[in-house]
Amino acid sequence: MKLLISPAKKMRVDRDFLFPETVPALLERSAWLLDHIRTLSFPALKKLLACNDSLAEKAYEDFQSLKLFDGETPALLAYDGIQYKYMVPSLFTQEQLDYVKDHLRILSGFYGVLRPFDGVSPYRLEMQAKLKTEDCGNLYEFWGGLLGDFLLKEDTVLVNLASEEYAKAVRPYVKGKARFITCVFAEESEPGKLVEKGVYVKMARGEMVRFAAEHGVESPEGLKEFRRLGYSFAEELSGEDTYVFRRKPENKKKTPG
């Protein structure tokens, strides 16, 4: 079983805690992508990334100085979004680190697929970015079936904890070849009506990875025991390919910060 998660926009460099053990598996494809991005002017990159001047300047500098084969930070520690804050990988025991090394994969618009201890450098490039070249009209076309092919070589049971932006870079290519289970984290806004709220969903995805690592979960069925942040498995709403975790109004907690 492999757990699939999204990256975060915010990244950091950590040279002190853990060291990279491997390089990203699809790095040759990333090298082509990097060469193309470096040909873009600052205005063109800013438009591609759809961000403000400050973030675009940082991204431009990162791409110009990025050393593909010398990533300083393991992917597991390089991302700094809500999901990763609730996963808290810096507190994993050695046993839990070994678990995520085997079971966790991070999808990326720039690196394709990352294992937890692949060395990476800061970048900013979402999978939905409409990067156009002579051969493709966006990153989904650029990566094609490479992400799915890589994952299928490793496993045929994939648990999707990623956003739809990243999940759809894999789902079409593994359909009929692997079991692809999507975890849904929803709230009852009123009786019988479920809604997914972005911040809580990200929190739950991070907690789900931590839960799996703490309990050494080896099959999707083991994830049904997840009961954190007020969520619990809703058997009546779930199916073979969709696991719904529901939180009722009385279990809501104030959003941090």
Interval 54-64: pLDDT, tens: 999 999 999 99
Distance from C-alpha of 111 to C-alpha of 118, rounded to nearest angstrom: 10
> Which of 138-142, 171-175, 251-255 has the least mean pLDDT?
251-255
Sign of the C-alpha dihedral computed for residues 186, 191, 193 and 195 taken in this order = negative
Mean pLDDT of 235-251: 87
> Which of 137-151, 152-166, 180-194 has the least mean pLDDT?
180-194
The pLDDT of residue 251: 46
Tell me the per-residue pLDDT of 4-24, one tens digit each, with 9 for 90 and over: 999 999 999 988 888 999 999
What's the pLDDT band for 252 if we cut at 50, 70, 90? very low
- Rounded to the nearest 10 degrees, the angle between the axes of helix 198-215 and helix 94-103 is 110
- % of residues, the chain, pLDDT over 70: 96
> Which of 17-21, 154-158, 241-245 has the least mean pLDDT?
17-21
Q: Which residues pair with 2 in a beta bridge?
A: 158
pLDDT at 257 over 50: no
Sign of the C-alpha dihedral computed for residues 213, 219, 225 and 227 taken in this order = positive
The answer to whether the beta carbons of residues 4 and 161 sit under 8 Å apart is yes
Tell me the per-residue pLDDT of 73-110, one tens digit each, with 9 for 90 and over: 999 999 999 999 999 999 999 999 999 999 999 999 99
Mean pLDDT of 33-49: 96
CB-based contacts of 166, cutoff 8 Å, min separation 6: 4, 6, 7, 107, 127
The pLDDT of residue 14: 84
Distance from C-alpha of 102 to C-alpha of 59, rounded to nearest angstrom: 31
pTM over 0.85: yes
Mean pLDDT of 149-174: 98
The pLDDT of residue 135: 85
The pLDDT of residue 133: 84
pLDDT at 242 over 60: yes
pLDDT at 249 over 80: no
Distance from C-alpha of 163 to C-alpha of 7, rounded to nearest angstrom: 9
The pLDDT of residue 250: 56
What's the pLDDT band for 216 if we cut at 50, 70, 90? very high
